[in-house]
Amino acid sequence: MFTIGCHLSIAKGFAAAARDAASIGANTFQFFTRNPRGGKAKELDPDDLATFAEVRANEGIACILAHAPYTLNPASAKPETREFALQALADDLLRMEQIMPGQLYNMHPGAHVGQGSEVGIELIAETLNAALQPQQTTTLLLETMAGKGSEVGRRFEEIAAIIERVELDEHVGVCLDTCHIWDGGYDIAGALDGVLGEFDRIIGLDRLRAIHLNDSKNPCGAHKDRHEKLGLGHIGFEALSAVTNHPKLRELPFYLETPHDELSGYADEIARLKGARL
């Protein structure tokens, strides 16, 4: 099955987001658990969640991916920032059990803000060890980053080092962002098999649970993180559709985070990807 969707707003609730997804030909979607710049999460509405379950059943929406706010930084040098990251993470994981059990929750690993990636890796693992619970059904995903600023997670080795330090690592996976790894220096357009081989050797492909499918405004290795619409960037549509067709990736859920103001922009990209699906 081709599991494809995009990032959607839940400002009007989860049921409305699921209907939006269905209206653009998607069978999954990603959403921010709270304002991407941080802050308090909106109260969950039991009526909305009940309708959400009905819409999912009717529209064939099998899975969802939550995204943590960008401001969440468990690698911060400030204890209060790390404490906020832990509280938000723990709260989000509890809410996921109510929204829909057994789903995916993605986060940017963090920024070491000059402390060095080794310190960053330790601090991130510390927060994950405090936040993850044995009974949780949600899988927490660490997103591969572009390496702008002091972001941890540009190199597969950094992601692997975090996971190695997590006790309940059965609850941890990876979300691969095509724009990020391209900007990070992995040539997925010219050498997809080589990049996946490296991922497998260092992290293990069994950890890979979701793909953010984005083109990039910049050349490979730029360390920029500027998403582009599919086919209008440096990766190109052919290389991105090859990602969705790769035998080792094709069963994963794919999420567009391309810059569109209208849902129709996503509908067009989803239709194009479906058309190119082998």
Residue 19 sits in the site that holds Fe ion (CB under 5 A): no
Residue among 45, 54, 70, 118 flagged as catalytic: 70
CA separation, residue 198 to residues 49, 70, 157, 195, 278 (Å):
40, 27, 10, 5, 25
- State the nearest-atom distance from the C-beta of 146 to Zn ion, in Å: 6
Q: Is 118 a catalytic residue?
A: no
Q: Residue length, the chain?
A: 278
225 binds, among Fe ion, Zn ion, none (CB under 5 to 8 A by kind): Zn ion
217 binds, among Fe ion, Zn ion, none (CB under 5 to 8 A by kind): none
d(CA 100, CA 138): 9
- State the nearest-atom distance from the C-beta of 57 to Fe ion, in Å: 28
Q: Is 83 a catalytic residue?
A: no
Residue 225 sits in the site that holds Zn ion (CB under 5 A): yes
Residue 154 sits in the site that holds Fe ion (CB under 5 A): no
Residue among 34, 56, 95, 108 flagged as catalytic: 108
Q: Is 215 a catalytic residue?
A: no
Number of chain residues interacting with Zn ion (CB under 5 A): 1
Binding part of the chain for Fe ion, among 52-60, 78-86, 124-132, 174-182 by CB under 5 A, reads: 174-182
Residue 227 sits in the site that holds Fe ion (CB under 5 A): no
CA separation, residue 40 to residues 44, 80, 91, 110, 227 (Å):
12, 16, 10, 19, 27
d(CA 65, CA 149): 26
Binding region for Zn ion (CB under 5 A): 225
Binding region for Fe ion (CB under 5 A): 143, 177, 212
Which residues are known catalytic residues? 37, 67, 70, 108, 143, 177, 180, 212, 225, 227, 257
